[in-house]
A and B are shown apart, each in its own frame.
Chain A
Amino acid sequence: MSMSTSINTALDRERVATPPGPWTRPASGGRKRRGRTVAFAIGVVAYLVTFLIILPLLWIVLLSFQPSGNILSNPFSFTHLTFDNYVNAIASLPLLRMYGNTILIAVVSVVIGTAISFMSAFALTRMVFRRRRAQSAVRFYLLAGLAIPVYILLFPVYRLDLALGIFGTYAALIVPYIAVTIPFNTLLMTGFLREFPGEIEEAAIIDGVGLWRLCWSVVLPLMRPVIATILIFNVVYVFNEFPFASILINNPDMVTVSLAVSRFQGQFTVDYGGMMASATLVLLPQLIIYAIFQRQVIAGMTVGAVKG
């Protein structure tokens, strides 16, 4: 627990100052010049490695501007770049629908999941059970879900959706998403609330605040950092999720972004340019949002994963 909270603070702090490498020693004269050469070499290596890592993405973007003929024969050419692939891609992809479905499913499942996890986490850490053991038993029951891989749930959830009559609706996907994020939400929220003193709430209760106001306007605002981590972690998960979506959605009108991408190869077959333009159209919005919220996303995902 302490490990990950401190990772959070470390990530928050990172902008403030880059400390000198742990093994830099005060140097002078010729040593200084050598130090500068070393620093330059390190910079070059760092830029080179970073370039290699983003190279696959650049390659996709380059291909997406190549006329179809060039992709197989001469993909490195920059002379005949064209927007044709994008025209094709936009014409053949239900982009609005893909994004609309995915955003709808992500927002609804993450908001409801966070809300109900908050309610139960509050009950599990703040409310007084007549039997103490029952309280920790329920918490343990929810946390046990962390050890269950989603793959074992795919088929039973499909059957369950059918039995409940929700197969074919958005709920078929939303409810399982809520369910599989509960253990993680519970871990983070109960962890936070346990470390956090309950005195403010005690004072609020003495002031005569009811349960609703206590949760909504006293405790929830205190939990903002945890809630932010949970929202980011879960939105990224739901947005990118494929296995559940591939089984629980059979209506072409309800296709999510991941599901659409999985069908690009079948849809475009040898129209590689169109396929790459489509991939870029999916990739870019994600990268732009990431660029804007970069610090929060990195912190949220790392802290989330380290705790989970």
Chain B
Amino acid sequence: MVWVSTRWKILLMLAPTLIVFTMFVIYPLVYSGMFSFTKFQGFGNPSWIGFDNYVGLFTDPFFWQALQNTVVILVVSIAILIPAAFALALLLRRAIPAGGVLRALVFGPAIIAPILVGLIWVFILDPKIGLLNRVLGDLGIPSLQWIGGNYLTPISVSAVFIWSSVGFAMTIFYAGLQLLPADVMEASSLDGATGWQQLRFVTIPMMRETFAIVTILMITNVFKIFELVYMLTGGGPVHRSETLVSYMYFITFTNQQYGYGMALAVVITVLGAIISVGYLAAVRRKEAKA
């Protein structure tokens, strides 16, 4: 290896990646950080205003609304998605005719562009033209404002998110289940463990790492939800259904309050990092105890 490792050859091999990455990821990150301390409307020079943007966020009711919506989506999605995906993996793992086809179909929504997922679900959730209210109406259940009303949109966004991710999460669980050592499973059933006991005391504890991976993946994905809100309600009415990211997009690109938008972007990045790291630390601590 030393023969081919002259200094200029190493530089040549690293240069394209380092230049593109530094220019289009690291420099923009620093730039956003700097901009979050300025007031800038797209013309003239940005003026330095210290922490005013951050202070402004704390007194902005739409920011709190967006934060609340994001937390609701996060909690509802994770609480339903993880058990549902695991149950689905257990189900599709049984010998079923054409089981492979079923697994592929269930995974399908994961490859559809989020923007198209949003459009598709408009035709399910829309209070007037949507499938859901139509079916409920036929059953004699009164219509609800699934999207565009004052309260339900975050729940509906969770439902759509769960729909598009459940097959994906299921596949990871499915692969994890395939990896369980057969002898342990056999031993526990020979010892007379019932299906439920085996699941509770053998399968789930042995899958802990998989649960952690799926959960962390889904948390980060919830923080990226944007297209769904963009298509379902556009954040409205009056920012009631905004998520943090969609509100940031609105402030930055519709309102052109660039400095303020970047402050919110910084807050989103830090929040996402804290939640992910915190979750991982909690899992580690639990594992150390066990």
Contact = CB atoms under 8 A, between A and B. Distances in A.
Interface of A: 3, 6-7, 10-11, 13-15, 18-25, 39, 42-43, 45-47, 49-50, 53-54, 56-57, 59-60, 63, 71-72, 75, 116-117, 119-120, 122-124, 126-130, 138, 142, 145, 147-149, 151-157, 159-160, 175-176, 178-180, 182-183, 186, 198, 201-202, 205, 210-211, 214, 236, 239-240, 242-243, 247, 257-258, 261-262, 264-265, 272, 275-276, 279, 282-283, 286-287, 290-291, 294, 297-298, 301-302, 305-306
B24 A116 contact: no
B290 interface: no
Interface in B63-93: 88, 91-93
B123 A180 contact: no
B29 interface: yes
B175 interface: yes
B32 A23 contact: no
A282 B115 CA distance: 11
Q: How large is the interface on B (under 10, 10 to 19, 20 to 34, 35 or more residues)?
A: 35 or more
Contacts of A3: 209-210, 213
A298 B185 CA distance: 27
Contacts of A148: 25, 29, 269
B131 interface: yes
A79 to B, nearest CB: 18
A128 B1 contact: yes
A147 B180 contact: no
Contacts of B193: 23
Given A53-B163, A148-B25, A156-B32, A287 B10 contact: no
A30 to B, nearest CB: 18
B145 to A, nearest CB: 18
Which 9 pairs across A and B sit closest by C-beta, in order of nearness?
A156-B28, A179-B24, A240-B113, A120-B17, A123-B13, A10-B178, A23-B195, A116-B16, A22-B185
Given A10-B178, A21-B93, A214-B4, A286 B112 contact: yes
B216 to A, nearest CB: 10
B96 A53 contact: no
B288 interface: no
B123 to A, nearest CB: 6
B161 to A, nearest CB: 13
B21 A145 contact: yes
B105 A53 contact: yes
Given A22-B198, A205-B4, A149 B224 contact: yes
B198 to A, nearest CB: 5
B282 interface: no
Nearest to B90: A21
Contacts of A242: 113-115, 226-227, 230
Contact of B91 (A49, A122, A126, A153): A49
A262 B231 contact: yes
B151 interface: no
Contacts of B97: 43
B23 interface: yes
Q: Which of A24, A148, A297 has the most chain B CB atoms inside 10 A of its CB?
A: A148
Given A123-B14, A128-B1, A239 B171 contact: no
B142 to A, nearest CB: 19
B248 A151 contact: yes
B144 interface: no
B131 A279 contact: no
Given A151-B268, A179-B23, A258-B115, 4 more contacts: A20-B95, A23-B195, A258-B116, A306-B172
25 contacts: A7-B175, A22-B180, A23-B193, A43-B96, A49-B88, A49-B91, A50-B105, A53-B167, A56-B123, A72-B129, A123-B10, A123-B13, A142-B17, A149-B268, A151-B245, A152-B32, A152-B265, A155-B32, A157-B24, A160-B24, A240-B113, A261-B113, A261-B119, A305-B217, A306-B213
